[in-house]
Amino acid sequence: MVIADDELVGVFPAARLLTERATVCSHPGSTYGGLVGTEWLTGAKSLISFEALARYYAGKGFTHLLYKAVPHIYHRRPAQDDLYSLQRIGARRCRADLAAVIDLANRGAASSRRSRGFKKAQTSGITVSVGAQYLPLFWPVLKENLYKRHGVRPVHTEDELALLMDRFPESISLHVAMQADEVVAGIVVFDSERVRHSQYIGAAEVGRELGGLDAVFERCIREALERGFRFFSFGVSTESEGEVLNDGLHTFKAEFGASGIVHEFYELPL
């Protein structure tokens, strides 16, 4: 916590890295997460606060601070004083991940391939439904898709995601493409104040052939615009700590009218 004149002005969620015990990170379990502060934390006050954080963690025996900056699309208003402060006290940018994001106030044109996919879904009788009750049908599709295409497994288990959806029904939702009673594609979306973010994306072979994902994404994007979100995020397309770009995946996302933003990581020797 950051205290000024006995008043709480900032919170810094952080924990020790399991792989590097001398490194404190903001936060190992999160995609991003920086110093969360009030309007007081600007300019020189931000710099003073980061100097105090550095002294505190150095005093606790840590040798490095890894800072996962919050991407600007999640800010309620411009707030990058933290990046300036980190540079001033000797931090360097050690990693950058590329994400695809639609500015809903200025969406790029969808590609002809995505438009054809959406039309195919409409003519094939694909319908889009929303609800946690579809999770048991979607989960096998997601697991197979992630393993075959990327050689990975979902970060959450099915039970963990079901628990999160139950606890935060207004923020986490499952959108699926249905053919008859079968789930052929789907995405899990996380809603924050300004951003709708797609976390888990998966489609069965028939879902890819019939444009299932095109139907689901178009529904989610249009709904995000109607509900007043500013951005729709497809998430990052980089691997190996940002050193490898999955260009096919990034191109797929960009074809919906998205463009790139960077998730920045900074390392500070203490």
Q: pLDDT 10s per residue in the chain (270 long)?
A: 677 777 888 899 999 999 999 999 998 888 999 999 888 889 999 999 999 999 999 999 999 999 999 999 999 989 999 999 999 999 999 999 999 999 999 999 999 999 999 999 999 999 999 999 999 999 999 998 887 777 788 889 999 999 999 999 999 999 999 998 899 999 999 999 999 999 999 999 999 999 999 999 999 999 999 999 999 999 999 999 999 999 999 999 999 999 999 999 999 999
The predicted pLDDT at position 155 comes to: 85
The CB density around residue 210, as the number of other CB atoms within 10 Å, is: 24
Domain 106-229 listed as CATH 3.40.50.880: no
Domain residue extents for the chain: 2-96+264-269, 106-229
Provide the pLDDT for residue 117. 96
Whole-model pTM? 0.93
Cα 77 to chain center, whole Å? 18
Q: Which two tokens stand for residue 242?
A: 């940002």
The long-range contacts involving 9-17, CB below 8 angstroms and separated by at least 24 positions, are 9/37, 9/38, 9/40, 9/41, 9/49, 10/35, 10/36, 10/37, 10/38, 10/40, 10/41, 10/49, 11/35, 11/36, 11/37, 12/36, 12/53, 16/62, 17/66
Taken in order 117, 122, 124, 127, the sign of the CA dihedral is positive
Q: For residue 241, give the DSSP letter.
A: T
Structure tokens at 101: 């994001």
Question: Rounded CA gap, 201 and 203, in Å?
Answer: 7
Are 209 and 244 in contact by the 8 Å Cβ rule? The answer is: no
